[in-house]
C-alpha cells in the first residue's frame, strides 16, 4: 500500500538528522617530531658471538729425578712398623732398616744395630774394601733365623754376610730387613749406590 504524504512527512521527522563530524586536525609540528624520533632510533646491531676459550692442555707430569728413584727401598718387610733410613751403632752401619714387631723395646732400632755390631769385624771381612748386602731375617727365640739375601754387591759378600748374621743374638721377636754396609765406609757407600742403580730403584 503506498504511503500517503502525511505518513512520509511523519517518517522523515522521526528519523534522526545526520550530522557531519569535523575531520581531525593534524598538527604538522607533531608529525615532523614523530618522524624525527623514529629516524633517531638506531638499528639493532648484532654482536659477534663470543669465542669459546680454547682448551689448554696441561703439561705432562715431570719424570722423577734419578736420585728420587734411587732412594726406593732395597728390602721389603710386610707390615713394618719401624723404619729408619740409616742408623749406626758401634761402628756398624745399616741402611733402610725396617722391622715388623708386635712389641718393641725402648730404642728398638738401636738394639737391632747393636746386636749386629757385635759381629762387625766378621762382617767387614766379607768385603774389606767395602760392600753392601740387603738382607731380610727373623729374630725369634733369641736367635737370628731365616736369613735371606735380597741384593749383594758380590755373591761372596752376600753368602758371607748371611752366615755371619746367623750368629747375631736376637734382641727381641721381629721380622726385619736392612742393607748391611761392610768394610771400608767409602767403598760401602759406592756399593750401596750401585745396588740401588742395578735394581732400577
SS (H, E, C) 82-130: EEEEEEEECCEEEEEEEEECCCCCCCHHHHHHHHHHCCHHHHHHHCCCC
Q: CA gyration radius for the chain?
A: 52
With residue 58 as reference, give the H or E element that holds it: none
Q: In what order do the strands lie in the sheet with 143-152?
A: 82-89, 92-100, 174-182, 131-140, 143-152
Q: Measured between alpha carbons, how far is residue 175 from residues 108, 129, 199 in Å?
A: 13, 29, 23
Closest CA to 72 of 185, 159, 180, 179: 179
Asked if pLDDT for residue 65 goes beyond 50, the answer is no
| pTM exceeds cut of 0.75 | no
Is the Cβ–Cβ distance between 91 and 66 less than 8 Å? no
CB 100 within 8 A of CB 175: yes
Please give the Cα distance from 199 to 178 (Å, whole number).
15
Is the model's pLDDT at 2 over the cut of 60? no
Q: Is the pLDDT of residue 169 over 80?
A: yes
Q: Which of 65, 62, 64, 69 is nearest to 193 (CA)?
A: 69
Give the integer Cα–Cα distance in Å for 87 and 23.
116
Q: Residue 40 — left, alpha, or beta (φ > 0 → left; ψ -120 to 50 → alpha)?
A: alpha
Handedness of CA 186, 191, 192, 193 (dihedral sign): positive
Residues shown for the chain: 201
Rounded mean pLDDT of 115-120? 95
Confidence (pLDDT) at 104: 74
Least confident piece of the model among 49-58, 84-93, 159-168, 178-187: 49-58
Least reliable range by pLDDT among 13-27, 97-111, 122-136, 149-163: 13-27
The answer to whether 71 touches 176, Cβ cutoff 8 Å, is: no
Is the CB of residue 117 less than 8 Å from the CB of residue 97?
no
Amino acid at each position: 500500500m503506498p504511503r500517503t504524504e502525511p505518513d512520509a512527512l511523519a517518517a522523515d521527522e522521526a528519523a534522526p538528522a545526520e550530522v557531519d563530524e569535523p575531520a581531525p586536525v593534524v598538527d604538522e609540528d607533531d608529525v615532523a617530531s614523530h618522524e624525527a624520533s623514529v629516524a633517531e632510533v638506531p638499528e639493532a646491531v648484532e654482536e659477534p658471538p663470543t669465542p669459546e676459550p680454547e682448551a689448554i692442555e696441561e703439561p705432562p707430569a715431570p719424570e722423577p729425578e734419578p736420585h728420587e728413584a734411587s732412594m726406593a727401598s732395597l728390602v721389603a718387610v710386610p707390615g713394618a712398623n719401624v723404619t729408619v733410613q740409616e742408623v749406626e751403632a758401634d761402628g756398624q752401619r745399616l741402611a733402610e732398616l725396617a722391622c715388623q714387631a708386635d712389641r718393641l723395646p725402648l730404642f728398638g732400632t738401636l738394639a737391632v744395630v747393636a746386636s749386629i755390631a757385635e759381629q762387625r769385624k766378621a762382617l767387614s771381612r766379607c768385603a774389606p774394601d767395602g760392600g753392601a748386602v740387603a738382607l731380610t731375617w727373623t729374630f725369634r727365640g733369641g736367635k737370628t733365623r731365616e736369613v735371606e739375601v735380597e741384593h749383594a754387591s758380590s755373591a761372596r759378600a752376600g753368602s758371607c754376610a748371611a752366615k755371619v748374621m746367623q750368629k747375631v743374638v736376637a734382641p727381641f721377636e721381629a721380622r726385619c730387613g736392612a742393607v748391611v754396609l761392610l768394610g771400608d765406609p767409602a767403598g760401602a757407600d759406592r756399593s750401596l749406590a750401585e745396588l740401588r742403580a742395578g735394581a732400577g730403584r
